[in-house]
Structure 1
């Protein structure tokens, strides 16, 4: 099969190196999806749609006037490599969706065509700071790198990461949240990607992980902490019974519904939709309460 080769835009990266980049950001995608699911209380799915090598001018010419960028710097711990700039571009719809969910909204009013307010920018700067931490964690699986958010930008005309003719690597991620499908673009100069990825490989990563048990424990603790911070619903069910629709419509203040269960009978306590405990009814001070008597 014959393919047209563009000598003005040569491809420098082999399939093996592109596969390494894909594995790296696949780890980032899974971590970020878990974080957003817990933070926004909405199931989140993130996967890589493509990884391309292009001129920076080609990328910048496709950016919309209203955009959202996180400016990130990768700092190698061993100083063997130079600092590497990285741009994280988010769809503005994703930014509005996250803000609405964090402020108690349903996450339906995200298709907005306006600039972000100062308060919204402060919230987004915090979120992109957390996103940057996940980028650093993904690189930590291969080499010692720290990622720091250095700025937030909404004006694409002020974004200048590379010269127009320089080659960059763009990783495109698709984010699915309820009815929202949005993209995240992670863009990094190709020379920096080449320099960093040349320092590690699969064997290096495995040996590095085996040699550094402390980093493994810290990573496990980091994941565990994020899981523990996830909010879950706890419900104590006194009893279940059936009523006709007419009986429900006739209910009024002061009506008594017999539940057919003694006060000293165990009741079930649900975590989300799973029965996890049995408990006794009671009270503490002025509040009604349950006392866990058995773990199911």
Structure 2
């Protein structure tokens, strides 16, 4: 009989369980799905931390880098305007932080990818632009209006097109030189160029990067260019990115004095300048039979700019004319190292 009384009925068991749950309810608010948590002290707030995109640069350093990249946008516009002989607009549309594998995913396979050696800094930057942008520029360089050929987007680039695209990559690399002088002297060079992600292995996938995105407009078309800088490069100039020199890039007194000394020595010197109307190849038989009044057709068209030589170097382009009773030459552009004419925004006589 005593053994029977020791066994609880189902109703008694349920009553005990309900009583235990009721006693535990006041402490329920202190637990979460991930386990118990402690209440915060009054006035304190939780600050989320992004482990995938940690804050590697300060706000001042990001601001300094933004100033540099805005300068790169202006240099890109000037460089492409000279290359295409047409107005080009470029602006910095975004400056993003992330990891390299995310940048690779954003670039995709329908892009031209350029690896840039950031010498004397240790490391490589990566530039990318769409194949449609490349074909628009190529069309303009070959005498077209800069229109994109939809059929060409599905084929590989020819050797001639690759050579032209390499010039585009060099323009992007050279556009870094002047803006980056705020923090360091750069001699960037294009080391690799390929279609798609073939050269994107130069940076570890998990590397923290800063990516500058540019919007470029030319020939009534809009395209995008990106420049990706790994943290390993940025770490080498971080102290200067946050310094006053990034916001006020005035030359030092010593450098200014050296410039004045150099100018005082150079100004008295005279330099020979020559302008060439053009040239022609004439068979020896025709040359032997030249008569007064014969016409020799030159290799330049009537509207082409004349090439101006300073010493033995071709440096400027100009248009012929007269001033008073003398022949004159109006300087209209500058010839770069590749032989391309970069027109001036305004002309000088």
- TM norm structure 1: 0.66
CA distance in 2 between counterparts of 1:189 and 1:66 reads 22
Q: How many residues align?
A: 222
Match of 2:251 in 1: 209
Distance apart, 1:123 and its partner CA = 1.1
Match of 1:90 in 2: 129
Distance apart, 1:109 and its partner CA = 2.8
Give the secondary structure class of the aligned counterpart of 1:116: coil
1:293 aligns with 2:336: no
Match 1:183 to one of 212, 224, 227: 224
Residue pair 1:172, 1:185 contacting (<8 A) in 2 also: yes
Residue pair 2:76, 2:171 contacting (<8 A) in 1 also: no
Residue pair 1:72, 1:132 contacting (<8 A) in 2 also: yes
Distance apart, 1:290 and its partner CA = 6.2
- After superposition, what is the alpha-carbon deviation per residue over 1:193-216, rounded to whole angstroms, capped at 9, x for unaligned? 132232455534657732434789
Distance apart, 1:291 and its partner CA = 3.7
Match of 2:107 in 1: 63
Distance apart, 1:6 and its partner CA = 2.0
Match of 1:116 in 2: 157
Matches for 1:8-47 after TM superposition, within 5 Å: 8-47=52-91
Q: Which runs of 5+ in 2 are unaligned?
A: 1-44, 263-319, 329-348
Give the secondary structure class of the aligned counterpart of 1:65: coil
Residue pair 1:66, 1:115 contacting (<8 A) in 2 also: no
Give the secondary structure class of the aligned counterpart of 1:62: helix
Matches for 1:91-106 after TM superposition, within 5 Å: 91-106=130-145
Distance apart, 1:86 and its partner CA = 0.4
RMSD: 3.1
Residue pair 2:91, 2:216 contacting (<8 A) in 1 also: yes
Match 1:164 to one of 178, 181, 205: 205
CA distance in 2 between counterparts of 1:188 and 1:110 reads 31
Q: Which runs of 5+ in 1 are unaligned?
A: 77-81, 218-288
- In structure 2, relative to structure 1, the CA distance for the partners of 1:105 and 1:3 (3 Å cut) is farther
Distance apart, 1:110 and its partner CA = 4.3
Match of 1:239 in 2: none
- Larger radius of gyration between Structure 1 and Structure 2: 2
CA distance in 2 between counterparts of 1:215 and 1:116 reads 46
- In structure 2, relative to structure 1, the CA distance for the partners of 1:200 and 1:171 (3 Å cut) is closer
- In structure 2, relative to structure 1, the CA distance for the partners of 1:25 and 1:157 (3 Å cut) is same
CA distance in 1 between counterparts of 2:219 and 2:161 reads 21
- After superposition, what is the alpha-carbon deviation per residue over 1:35-81, rounded to whole angstroms, capped at 9, x for unaligned? 222321322111111111111111112232221012111113xxxxx
CA distance in 2 between counterparts of 1:106 and 1:12 reads 44
CA distance in 2 between counterparts of 1:215 and 1:171 reads 34
Residue pair 1:88, 1:187 contacting (<8 A) in 2 also: yes
Give the secondary structure class of the aligned counterpart of 2:118: strand
